[in-house]
């Protein structure tokens, strides 16, 4: 599970839903005191940031080499996420990159720069659907211009099928690129439709929702009968397809689907094994390789357990088919990788939380039957990201809690991380853009946010990840996928509520984690402001809320607002025609967070699909049209972009023969250069 940035992402600068052309910077370039340039460029609703990797130079040579090898493994899976996101992504990306690199016509025209923005958006989203809304985006250049581009690009730079002419390629691409009705949405969560057929992600082919549900239900039944492992994450690493009328799984593995990319990943993992920090870590990598070779989900679980247990190593990584947000059925894992190392100083904060995990579980407001009597090893650390890959690149979470398998979490615990250097980049690139001043209700709120906002945000993420997701337990017989399309929203709400409830617990001050109660107040201000109002800036006019984390925040904010209405816990203030939300009773608000946590935990523990549906549909989906219009109008005036992606640092190896003498780090200057380099070096999959 992952946490996306809320507070920080909202503060980023540059305009939303503006002209797609690359804009001149409207704000001073975000640079640090040390002169490091975080913000490199912006286009459409996105901006690109670089992140520092502080402390890399102090690592041992083996640790540096380990990071280098793992970073290569992270890059080798890049094509996989494109293909998982949509079947035509690799073809479209390759065609566009061919044009970008080799078009012989006028490359300085406005039209060409509009074309470049479209390509950058593809890179930004790993495909033709918006990374967040999952709606397909359509280029702002014309079909005629596209024909000109194809015509002016040499054949050897285009992904022509055997015997295909440029004209035929154009015919193939035009509906995929320009027709809004073709593959309209990557992940559709509309329960009135067949979730699989209405989604364009590439996890199923020729299979309906009902067929997929039946397929996995019978697979689970089979496992029970044969007494094989019934706890594995069925379907996690495969595509489900119908072949000759029969439904079969195509497993992602060496020799299976995505073999060419997975073989490369394995090669680099083998090198990584030679410089592992200790036998435990070597065993983790060995198990991962074995899983990639066999495709066995039993081995995947063995790997996950070994990975959770490895808490000694300084360098760590995620690499695999992990998160299920990209699948409307929440079964199929999107490929991702994050290579990182521990920030020892900042980790002291999360260690206090995880050391006291049982204490928090015991006093949490959920029903006793749903509590874990023994919270196992919730290990938490603050990390420095060294490489993002796959689904985590270029946009990334700021907090991660893995593994996802509920039974492993229950028996072995989970590893929870907060990514500090990514948060830092967000923060540095966003200072002073006027967002807070526009939407906060009072000067006191602004002051509180300035003084404690970053700490409040980090601490909430810490609690969300290292206590929230790990808390509670499922009743016997309830499986992790019982809530289907509502699973992710309910799960995120559960973790958020745990964090919101405990950030105001006096014990945090006793533990030395917060200086005073204002930290919790700052978090409550910002959470309510965001959930009721400001997160709407990420929604296009007329659309509903779909992304799980946004639904989670809307659910919580609307629920507590409604429940506390009579006692005026949260007040709606209209001033000079502008709407504000003001928390009037922080103590009562905390009680309400606890009440909702109890409800959401019951739904999770019992797998109560009907109750999950009711709660989410009532509070988390619909948008107040009038307020939405107002918020978008106020936001537009600020010229702020709601999304940020990242440029990875580049690692250079200094070699003496076969032997690595040093690994140095460079920070590339621009997004396109990095993306083109990646496509040249790490394209292993067929485009069709």
- Interface residues with Zn ion (CB under 5 A) are 1, 3, 492, 495
Bridge partners, residue 579, by sequence: 574
| Minimum CB distance to Zn ion, residue 469 (Å) | 6
What count of other Cβ atoms lies within 10 Å of the Cβ of residue 630? Answer: 16
| Minimum CB distance to Zn ion, residue 102 (Å) | 43
Helical residues (DSSP H) of 103-155, grouped into ranges = 110-125, 143-151
Residue 160 has what DSSP assignment? Answer: P
| Minimum CB distance to Zn ion, residue 495 (Å) | 5
Q: Which of 328, 164, 306 is nearest to 235 (CA)?
A: 328
| Minimum CB distance to Zn ion, residue 347 (Å) | 19
Find where tokens 């000759």 sit: 244
Residue 31 has what DSSP assignment? Answer: B
What count of other Cβ atoms lies within 10 Å of the Cβ of residue 349? Answer: 20
Task: Give the integer Cα–Cα distance in Å for 458 and 453.
Answer: 9
Q: How many CA atoms lie within 13 A of 472 on its CB side?
A: 27
Q: Which is nearer to Zn ion, 169 or 495 (CB)?
A: 495
With b meaning 16 or more CB within 10 Å and e meaning fewer, what string describes 9-36?
bbbbbbbbbeebeebeeebeebeeeeee
| Minimum CB distance to Zn ion, residue 323 (Å) | 10
The continuous run of DSSP H or E covering 215 comes out as: helix 209-226
Q: Which is nearer to Zn ion, 429 or 490 (CB)?
A: 490
Q: Which is nearer to Zn ion, 15 or 489 (CB)?
A: 489
| Minimum CB distance to Zn ion, residue 601 (Å) | 15
Taken in order 160, 161, 162, 168, the sign of the CA dihedral is: negative
Contact 345, 390 (CB under 8 A): no
Q: Which is nearer to Zn ion, 272 or 490 (CB)?
A: 490
DSSP collapsed to 3 states, 491-514? HHHHHHHHHHHHHCCCHHHHCCCC
Q: Which is nearer to Zn ion, 240 or 322 (CB)?
A: 322
Tokens, residue 664: 């140095």
Q: Which is nearer to Zn ion, 176 or 398 (CB)?
A: 398
| Minimum CB distance to Zn ion, residue 499 (Å) | 9
Q: Which is nearer to Zn ion, 481 or 492 (CB)?
A: 492
| Minimum CB distance to Zn ion, residue 4 (Å) | 9
Taken in order 409, 475, 353, 53, the sign of the CA dihedral is: positive
Q: Which of 61, 97, 118, 35 is nearest to 428 (CA)?
A: 35
Q: Which is nearer to Zn ion, 342 or 464 (CB)?
A: 464
Q: Which is nearer to Zn ion, 399 or 564 (CB)?
A: 399
Give me the phi and psi of 330, to 5 degrees please: 55, 40
| Minimum CB distance to Zn ion, residue 492 (Å) | 5
Q: Which is nearer to Zn ion, 1 or 429 (CB)?
A: 1
Bridge partners, residue 663, by sequence: 653
Q: Which is nearer to Zn ion, 389 or 399 (CB)?
A: 399
Task: Give the integer Cα–Cα distance in Å for 242 and 319.
Answer: 28
Bridge partners, residue 662, by sequence: 654
| Minimum CB distance to Zn ion, residue 475 (Å) | 22
Residue 571 has what DSSP assignment? Answer: E
Residue whose CB is nearest to Zn ion in the complex, by number: 1
| Minimum CB distance to Zn ion, residue 468 (Å) | 7
Bridge partners, residue 248, by sequence: 241
């Amino acid at each position: 599970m992952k946490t996306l940035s809320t507070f920080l992402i909202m503060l980023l600068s540059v305009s939303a839903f503006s002209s797609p052309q690359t804009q001149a910077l409207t704000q001073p370039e975000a640079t640090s005191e040390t002169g490091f340039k975080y913000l490199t460029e912006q286009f459409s609703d996105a901006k690109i940031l670089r992140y520092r990797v502080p402390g890399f130079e102090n690592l041992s040579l083996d640790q540096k080499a380990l990071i280098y090898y793992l970073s290569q493994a992270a890059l080798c899976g890049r094509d996989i996420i494109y293909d998982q996101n949509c079947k035509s992504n690799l073809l479209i990306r390759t065609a566009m990159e061919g044009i970008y690199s080799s078009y012989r016509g006028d490359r300085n025209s406005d039209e060409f720069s509009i074309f470049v923005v479209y390509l950058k958006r593809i890179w930004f989203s790993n495909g033709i659907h918006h990374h967040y809304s999952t709606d397909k985006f359509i280029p702002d250049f014309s079909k005629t211009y596209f024909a000109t581009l194809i015509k002016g690009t040499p054949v050897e730079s285009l992904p022509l099928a055997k015997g295909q002419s440029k004209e035929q390629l154009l015919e193939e691409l035009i509906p995929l690129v320009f027709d809004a009705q073709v593959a309209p949405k990557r992940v559709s969560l509309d329960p009135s439709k067949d979730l699989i057929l209405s989604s364009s992600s590439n996890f199923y082919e020729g299979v309906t929702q009902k067929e997929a549900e039946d397929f996995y239900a019978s697979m689970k039944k089979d496992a029970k009968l044969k007494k094989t492992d019934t706890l594995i994450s069925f379907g996690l690493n495969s595509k489900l397809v119908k072949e000759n009328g029969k439904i079969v799984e195509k497993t992602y593995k060496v020799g299976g689907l995505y073999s060419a990319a997975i073989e490369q990943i394995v090669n680099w993992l083998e090198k990584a094994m030679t410089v592992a920090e200790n036998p435990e870590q070597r065993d983790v990598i060995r198990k991962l390789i074995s899983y990639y070779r066999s495709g066995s989900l039993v081995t995947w679980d063995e790997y996950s357990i070994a990975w959770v247990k490895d808490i000694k190593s300084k360098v760590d990584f995620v690499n695999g088919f992990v998160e299920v947000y990209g699948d409307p059925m929440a079964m199929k894992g999107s490929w991702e990788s994050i290579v990182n190392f521990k920030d020892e100083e900042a980790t002291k904060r999360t260690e206090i939380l995880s050391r006291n995990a049982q204490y928090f579980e015991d006093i949490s407001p959920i029903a006793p039957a749903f509590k874990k009597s023994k919270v196992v090893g919730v290990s938490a650390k603050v990390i420095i990201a060294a490489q993002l890959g796959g689904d985590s690149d270029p946009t990334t979470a700021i907090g991660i809690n893995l593994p996802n398998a509920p039974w492993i979490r229950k028996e072995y615990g989970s590893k929870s991380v907060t990514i500090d250097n990514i948060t830092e980049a967000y923060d540095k690139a966003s200072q002073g853009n006027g967002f807070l001043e526009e939407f906060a209700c009072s000067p006191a709120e602004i002051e509180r946010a300035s003084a404690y906002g970053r700490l409040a945000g980090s601490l909430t993420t810490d609690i969300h990840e290292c206590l929230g997701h790990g808390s509670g337990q499922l009743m016997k017989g309830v499986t992790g996928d019982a809530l289907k399309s509502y699973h992710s929203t309910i799960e995120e709400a559960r973790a958020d509520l745990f964090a919101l409830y405990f950030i105001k617990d006096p014990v945090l001050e006793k533990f030395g984690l917060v200086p005073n109660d204002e930290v919790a107040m700052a978090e409550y201000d910002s959470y309510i402001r965001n959930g009721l109002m400001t997160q709407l800036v990420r929604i296009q006019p007329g659309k509903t809320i779909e992304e799980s984390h946004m639904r989670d925040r809307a659910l919580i904010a609307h629920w507590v607002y409604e429940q506390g209405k009579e006692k005026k816990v949260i007040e709606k203030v209209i001033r000079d025609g502008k709407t504000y939300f003001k928390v009037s009773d922080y103590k009562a608000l905390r009680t309400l967070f606890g009440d909702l946590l109890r409800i959401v935990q019951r739904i999770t523990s019992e797998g109560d699909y009907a109750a999950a549906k009711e709660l989410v549909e009532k509070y988390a989906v619909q948008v107040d049209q009038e307020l939405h219009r107002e918020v978008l109008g106020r936001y537009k005036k600020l010229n702020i972009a709601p999304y940020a992606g990242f440029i990875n640092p580049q690692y250079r190896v200094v070699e003496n023969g076969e032997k690595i003498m040093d690994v140095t780090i460079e920070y590339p200057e621009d997004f396109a250069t990095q993306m083109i380099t990646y496509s040249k070096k790490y394209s292993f999959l067929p485009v069709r």
